[in-house]
Amino acid sequence: MGFYVFDLDGTLADCTHRLALIRGPRKDWRGFFAACPADRPIAATIGVLRALHAAGHRIEVWSGRSDEVRAETEARLVRHGVPAKIPVIMRRAGDRRPDDVVKREFLGGAGAPDVIFDDRDRVVAMWRAEGIICFQVAPGNF
């Protein structure tokens, strides 16, 4: 069986309604994360996750989203069809490092996935530089 990782914002959840909060010189990351309950699910990617999970593959969600909103995030994922037993790995509250740096550290705890689904350009580039197959699910230049 394989090990598959899915990003959250832009991959499983449509976060376009809150991107204005992090564009420009003054980024409101706290507001960006706090607005996540209004995200709409991305059904196609959630469908792939569910199919892989149903086939018995190991699935995890790795997110640069702050764990300040863990409860809302996990509840929303379940509401949109992501099985509750799938682990959700998130950045620690207050961690302001770039998401490619934070996510690279996730590799140390779980081992290398066979495939990652992500949207953010610099994160996709990092996964590929690490030798991991990464399906870029959407444009992610933000």
Mean pLDDT check: name the lowest of 36-40, 50-54, 65-69, 121-125.
Answer: 36-40
| Residue 141 within any structural domain of the chain | no
pLDDT in the model for residue 124: 97
pLDDT band at 30 (very low <50, low <70, confident <90, very high): confident
Which residue range is the domain that position 99 belongs to? 3-136
Number of folded domains in the chain? 1
Which secondary structure element, helix H or strand E, spans residue 101, and what is its range?
helix 99-110
pLDDT at 110: 66
pLDDT cut 90: percent of the chain above it: 69
pTM of the model: 0.91
Q: For residue 142, tell me if it sits in a domain.
A: no
Whether residue 90 is contained in a domain is answered as: yes
Backbone angles phi, psi at 61, to 5 degrees: -110, 125
Q: What is the dihedral of CA 41, 45, 51, 52, to 10 degrees?
A: -120
CATH number at residue 82: 3.40.50.1000
